[in-house]
Amino acid sequence: MKRMKLLAAMALSVTMAGTASADLVIPSLEYRTGPYAPNGIHFADGYTDYFTLLNERDGGIGGVPVRVIPCETAYNTEKGVECYESTKGEGALVYQPLSTGITYQLIPKATADGIPVHSMGYGRTSAANGKVFSHIFNYPGTYWDAASIIVKHILEQEGGDLSGKSITLVYHNSAYGKEPIRTLEELSKKHGYNLTLIAVDHPGQEQKSQWLQIRRERPDYVLMWGWGVMNQVAIQEAANIRYPMDHFIGVWWSSSENDVIPVGEGAHGYKAIAMHGVGDDYPIYDDMRKYVLDAGKAAGDGSNLGKVLYNRGMYAAMLAAEAVRTAQEMTGVADINSAQMRDGMEALKIDAARLAELGLPDFGPPIEVSCGNHGGPGLGAIQQWDASAQSWSLITGFIGADRDVVDPLIAEDSSAFAAENNITPRDC
């Protein structure tokens, strides 16, 4: 059986090598400038470096080199759309907007153009319904999954009973920050906790009044849907009022070193949800140093390796690369187009064995995408900051979302979107 698989792979390689052309085009919508640059730089470095690794070590994917086209958005929706319009004609295979606002604008555009969008753990949550959103993917999980998983963790901390408890959501006053509200409201009905919502306006440098309210009301738990400087300001304000950090839990975009290091010892114990592993203790980093950093081909100065958002950018690139491989294997064509990429993303399956082969053992949960499920497994772990060690660690395994709450919300919202936009859901 192993010999048959090897022969099949060799035959596919010959077929693909014979049809290969210039390159596989992957635009990188990034923000190295503007108020969110400190986070955007880490992600963009990880995203670009992974494709560089594949080019330098493997000659690309299936024998075809990857050409990354960087385009600066400054986390501005209008600029993000301009980047899309200016790069789609290059033969773009997939877009990773790294912005919920940009994602919302690209949903109709990219769908009409037949180009897939991967809003990995962000964007419109109901895009997880592939029957309605044919070209939008948000695996390995959504904001609604994240909200549910955080509440599950709190339930475990409280012995399974949240009756009469109080939870406050501090959120970025944008489409992104508002995403978890509906889910948290439904979960409050189910579990009996009291929910308070506190908005923070962009970019989030001023939060005195919000944290005075929290000091006054003293909720049992505070959740945060923040980004950029908003995160570190919130954590500093929490430390100032001596709020217990192990009861302060952020979403996976409020979970980087940038958010906690400036606060010093005051950030010790802060928690956040994680969609992947932390640190650089993975075999892939040996190759990253050999083929990318030491070769002088890194996107940045190399100081971000293993940091949360570098890992996330690398993870996003790996998922894109694996979708390319899947599409190549499905079609026997190396130089795939965006339609074939979409099909590869929808057929993506990454198990624990494949993660180990990629040099990322146990880095994330197994992922399986399908026609009806573009959101993946919807799993997340909880990570916690150790200020003394200056490092994150996963303190739980990967936890599943409350599908009894999340799935009906996805069905309701996606059905409304389909009705508003005259979309006939696909029969999966």
Q: Residue 11: how many CB atoms within 10 A of its CB?
A: 11
Closest CA to 171 of 235, 220, 230, 125: 230
Question: Rounded to two decimals, what is the model's pTM?
Answer: 0.94
Q: For residue range 179-237, what is the model confidence (pLDDT) as tens digits?
A: 999 999 999 999 999 999 999 999 999 999 999 999 999 999 999 999 999 999 999 99
pLDDT at 10: 37
Q: What is the pLDDT of residues 275-320, one digit of tens each?
A: 999 999 999 999 999 999 999 999 999 999 999 999 999 999 999 9
Q: Give every CB contact of residue 10 below 8 A, 6+ residues apart in sequence.
A: none
Residue type at 185 in one-letter notation: E
Residue 320 C-beta-side C-alpha neighbours within 13 Å: 32
Q: Which residues contact 5 (CB under 8 A, 6 or more apart)?
A: none
**Mean pLDDT of all residues in the chain?**
95
Q: How confident is the model at residue 11 (pLDDT cuts 50, 70, 90)?
A: very low
Say if residue 9's pLDDT is above 80: no
Tell me the percentage of the chain whose pLDDT exceeds 90.
94
d(CA 255, CA 261): 11
Share of the chain above pLDDT 70, in %: 95
Domain annotation for the chain: domains and CATH numbers? 22-141+279-378+410-420 (3.40.50.2300), 143-274 (3.40.50.2300)
Write down the pLDDT at residue 22.
85
pLDDT digits (tens, 9 = 90+) for 402-419: 999 999 999 999 999 999
Side chain identity, residue 172: H
pLDDT of 1 above 80: no
The distance between the two most distant Cα atoms of the chain, rounded to a whole number of Å, is 69
Phi, psi of 231 (to 5 degrees): -65, -50
3 pLDDT band (50/70/90 cuts)?
very low
User: Nearest CA to 248 among 317, 150, 315?
Assistant: 150
Residue 420: pLDDT band (50, 70, 90) is very high
Local confidence band at 5 (pLDDT 50, 70, 90 cut-offs): very low
Which whole number is the average pLDDT over 244-256? 98
Q: What is the pLDDT of residues 330-349, one digit of tens each?
A: 999 999 999 999 999 999 99
Q: What is the pLDDT of residues 129-155, one digit of tens each?
A: 999 999 999 999 999 999 999 999 999
Kindly report, residue by residue over 58-116, the tens digit of the pLDDT.
Answer: 999 999 999 999 999 999 999 999 999 999 999 999 999 999 999 999 999 999 999 99
Take residue 103 and report the two structure tokens written for it. 């994602």
Is residue 2 predicted with pLDDT exceeding 70? Answer: no
